[in-house]
Amino acid sequence: MDSTLARTTKDAMLDLRNRTIYVIAPGGTTAQGGMARMVKYMVDNWPNEAGRMLVLDSYGSARCRMPLVFLFMMARLFVNAMRNRIDLLHIHMAERLSVTRKGLVVYLGALFRIPTVLHLHGAEFENYCMSLPQWRLALVRRMMQKVTMVVALGHTSKSFVCNYLNVDPRRVQVLPNAVPAPRLTPRKHTGPCRILFLGAVCERKGVPTLLSALASPLLTGLDWHCHIVGDGDLATYRNQAKENGIENRLTFHGWLSQEESHKELVESDFLVLPSRNEGLPMAILEAMSVGLPTIATPVGEMRDAVRDGNTGLIVPVDDIAALGEAMRALVVDCEKRQALGHAARELYLSTFDIKNYNQSIALLFKRVLRIGQA
């Protein structure tokens, strides 16, 4: 960071020191999934001198309790807004009912003239909006006009927000996800090449395609073992693995804690995430932070992190043969894995480190507060 930008960032941090920022997110910082993990990383690494961050859960720990949790959160926001205790709202939104819930928060902010940042995350947000009838789409567009600033994960998302939801490009900030720098642990494992899948175990994440590719002749004669980490319909995919004759070459871990997932990352040779749609998955950034290459698909903002032939490999969606070829290339070539992993680590340090992310967020908050005061 050059000296001028460093001073500007420091000034932004100081301008926020007496401010109270309410962060609205489903599950707060404790839920499973990338959005809660991103919020936790942001809050845990937020500088003390840069204002007070309060995280409010808009969903709760179970769907049946969601309406009560949401109503309680809205009541708390209303009371604090009445008492002028909220300087800024940072609202994290996905798709479907998240749009309705967060839309109500946006309107509450508009009612009390509180500056708002709407942070878009959902992998299916674009498909959701395009499936809406015109009257509901009109409501979403109207809600977006009430927001002071929109945060998009990448330029593809920004283009959709501007062109389809009619948001002024000057009110859309591109800010990719980020993760904290890990304590790098040398890989000490020996034996088979360790392939890692980290995410929801489901069709959207490309698990059926992954299992079919692993069972292809391209990989059956090679020395590898695949570790699948995440919740989902594990029984179905265990059955698919058994039918494909590779059940002994897979380990289904289920959901793991952040620390356990980190252990899997540092002990693996590469990550594979052949998703059908995505935003910018935290798993890829976490893999990059420990120097792992990734095989991924060209959906969402994936190509901002996985640069084909540089930090990883890109394969078409649902292309079993291409995915098998890519995995074979990394299984048999340790030097290629190391070169891609080194480049991934360098890109992480320059682009996806949480410290740089929070500096960008601080500058954005300062700008939003200035707009709110105009």
How far is CA 97 from each of CA 67, 74, 103, 104, 253, rounded to the nearest angstrom? 11, 15, 10, 11, 30
User: How would residue 128 be classed by pLDDT, with cut points 50, 70 and 90?
Assistant: very high
pLDDT confidence bin for 347, thresholds 50/70/90: very high
Q: 1-5, 156-160, 236-240, 284-288: which range is least confident on average?
A: 1-5
pLDDT at 123: 85
* Band (11; pLDDT cuts 50, 70, 90): confident
pLDDT digits (tens, 9 = 90+) for 88-110: 999 999 999 999 999 999 999 99
Contacts of 93 (CB under 8 A, 6+ apart): 99, 102, 118, 119, 120, 121, 122, 125
Residue range 67-77: average pLDDT? 96
Average pLDDT over residues 246-261: 94
Looking at residue 339, what is its pLDDT? 97
For the chain, what is the mean pLDDT? 93
User: What residue ranges define each of the domains in the chain, with the CATH number in brackets?
Assistant: 3-178+354-373 (3.40.50.2000), 193-351 (3.40.50.2000)
Q: Rounded mean pLDDT of 5-28? A: 84
pLDDT cut 70: percent of the chain above it: 96
Beta bridge partners of 224: 193
Q: What number is the average pLDDT over the span 5-20?
A: 78
Q: What is the pLDDT of residues 176-186, one digit of tens each?
A: 999 998 876 65
- pLDDT (mean) for 269-288: 95
Per-residue pLDDT, averaged over 13-32, amounts to 89
Q: By mean pLDDT, which of 25-29, 222-226, 294-298 is the weakest?
A: 25-29
Residues β-bridged to residue 88 = 21
Of residues 31 and 167, the one with the higher pLDDT is 167
Residue 189: predicted pLDDT:
63
pLDDT for the residue 12: 76
